Structure 1
Amino acid sequence: MKTTSSGTRILSIDIGGSSIKATILSQTGELMQEYKKAKTPKPATPDAVLKAISTLIRDFEPYDKVSVGFPGYIKNGVTCTAPNLGTNHWKGVDLAVLLGDLLKKPVRVANDADIHGLGVVSGVGLELVITLGTGFGTAMLMDGALLPHLEIAHHPISKKRTYDGFIGDKAYIEIGRKRWNRRMKQVLKVLKVVFNYDRLYIGGGNADELDFKLDDNVEIITNKDGIRGGARLWQLHREDVLRPENVRS
């Protein structure tokens, strides 16, 4: 693995409900250091998560900037929701400032699915990215530009369940792979009709559990593909992002 670069080096962190992942990227998104991860602390309070990040990156080589993907709604670097970490812990937390103070580097924070999307899309047409992990993440991009983030995970898909409750990891464990795949077929039909996307990307830890044939314009992606979006977040100028409140320099 290449470990040195003459250009800008970006520490890219992905905070998830089950694990925290980190690597160092070149300014074009190439991995400059081995991809590492650690379990997300329980309870996942801001102090505990920051401590886990500090421990995880302790031996990382120097970097110039930081990108962070967070599993919730972000506004101007401040966390508004964190359903899989505990919104009661995170509501109103200025994560960009906290990490900037901790790491002494410029920090940009965005929704984790949005960063995943920046890392994988082709940049042509309307592209939808979904992540199947602890919860259900989504991102929409038009010609490579992020569209307003929608917390689709919390929208009802059935009379009693949101998408998170219907196909999240807890549901997978509860109902098993066969029934979960039947539910995923239903969800994908809904997304196809609602969004009329040009291309759909499916990532997250449970993406590999899909056992049925996907449409030709649907692609399975990896978490390593998605974390590269941390570099692209720094390539975007504020005027290039339709949701400028989601990044802070």
Structure 2
Amino acid sequence: MKHYLAFDIGGTQIKYGIVTEKGDILSHFIMDTEAHLGGLSIIDKVIAAGKSMAANHTLSGIAISTAGQVNFHTGTIVAAGETIPHYTGVEIKKLVSDALGLPVEVRNDVDCAALGEMWLGNHGSSSFIALTVGTGIGGAIVIDGKMYAGHSFSAGEWGYMLVDGEPFEKNASMTGLIRFANHYKEKRQWTGKEIFDLYDKGDKEIQEAVGQFYRYLAIGISNLIYIFNPEKVIIGGGITARGEKFLQEVIEEVEKYLLPSFNKNTEIVLAKLSNQAGMIGAVYHFMGSPYDTFNL
């Protein structure tokens, strides 16, 4: 059985490990991204970890999922946000392949998460959109079993979409939730769990904060459903640790903004692969997913 070394590069952490051709994760490690040091520093960390892993495993290749807009043909970062400075233009595929002497494939992290869900999530859907709700909001689009990448590999970047005149991810992300908590409550370094614990206990100020967060999230999701008419909306990211409570709260809020004909024909579900989806999807992409990418 073939084994691959998979990396999932985020703004805060880099997850990596050995993944089989069946999507089984045999080992899993985490290291700090130290994004403030810049894009090339991140790739140096990937190469160092790759050398260590390659010394102890027989690898068929290296599969990389990363934040940023990625030309997956060349494995180059087309554009990246401020979270990772000096990342735009970094030729990840070439740098890592040259250093480790192994074939390398690179793709956007949310695209990889969507591919992982398509492969092993058992969602039973060939047309869906995926959202990851974390520090920001990322997206991916699968239409009739094919991933849509966009003209310049930027499709699904709806974190930048305007809702009430502000970027969707400003208010509908964990960043937004914490900002609302700081507005209605005393300022502190909130975690999502702390906020929802108070929410469940009936704290009126926190309920106002969470209500604002859900309102923005629901409006954004409703707009996307109107645009894409997907079979399913798959939501992932750290916020989904709340589980079924989170899902039901989102569904109830979305119902306020969707016409009944749209609401009954679109199912909102949680991602099933959790934080491992990026690594698994990266391997799926490396192997040549049957869900080919197309551009309009």
TM-score, normalised to structure 1, is 0.83
Larger Rg: 2
Q: Is it true that 1:105 corresponds to 2:134 in the alignment? A: no
Distance change >3 Å, CA 172–CA 78, structure 1 → 2? same
CA RMSD of aligned residues (A): 2.5
Paired letter, 2:141: M
Unmatched tracts of structure 1, length 5 or more: 1-6, 244-249
- Secondary structure at the aligned position of 1:80 is classed as strand
Pick the aligned partner of 1:207 from 235, 240, 262: 240
Could you say which residue in structure 2 is the equivalent of 1:80?
78
Unmatched tracts of structure 2, length 5 or more: 182-194, 196-209, 252-262
What CA deviation, in whole Å up to 9, does each residue of 1:76-131 have, x standing for no partner? Answer: 31112111533x50121111111212322111111100010000024633111111
**Alpha-carbon distance between aligned partners in 1 of 2:96 and 2:35, rounded to the nearest angstrom:** 19
Pick the aligned partner of 1:69 from 65, 72, 77: 65
Q: Note if contact 2:64-2:279 (Cα within 8 Å) is conserved in structure 1.
A: no
- Secondary structure at the aligned position of 2:24 is classed as coil
**Structure 1 position 15, deviation (Å):** 0.7
**Alpha-carbon distance between aligned partners in 2 of 1:226 and 1:50, rounded to the nearest angstrom:** 17
Paired letter, 2:4: I
- Secondary structure at the aligned position of 1:69 is classed as strand
**Alpha-carbon distance between aligned partners in 2 of 1:84 and 1:123, rounded to the nearest angstrom:** 36
**Structure 1 position 217, deviation (Å):** 1.9
Superposed, 1:225-244 pairs within 5 Å as 225-236=277-288, 240-242=292-294
Identity %: 21
**Alpha-carbon distance between aligned partners in 2 of 1:239 and 1:188, rounded to the nearest angstrom:** 24
**Structure 1 position 184, deviation (Å):** 1.7
**Structure 1 position 55, deviation (Å):** 5.0
Q: Note if contact 1:118-1:144 (Cα within 8 Å) is conserved in structure 2.
A: no
- Secondary structure at the aligned position of 1:181 is classed as helix
Superposed, 1:1-249 pairs within 5 Å as 7-33=1-27, 35-54=28-47, 56=49, 59-60=52-53, 61-62=56-57, 63-75=59-71, 76-86=74-84, 89-121=86-118, 122=123, 124-149=125-150, 150=155, 151-159=157-165, 161-176=166-181, 178=210, 179-209=212-242, 210=246, 212=249, 214=251, 217-221=267-271, 222-236=274-288, 240-242=292-294
**Alpha-carbon distance between aligned partners in 1 of 2:230 and 2:291, rounded to the nearest angstrom:** 24
Q: Note if contact 1:17-1:134 (Cα within 8 Å) is conserved in structure 2.
A: no
TM-score, normalised to structure 2, is 0.71
What CA deviation, in whole Å up to 9, does each residue of 1:183-209 have, x standing for no partner? Answer: 222222222222211011111112235
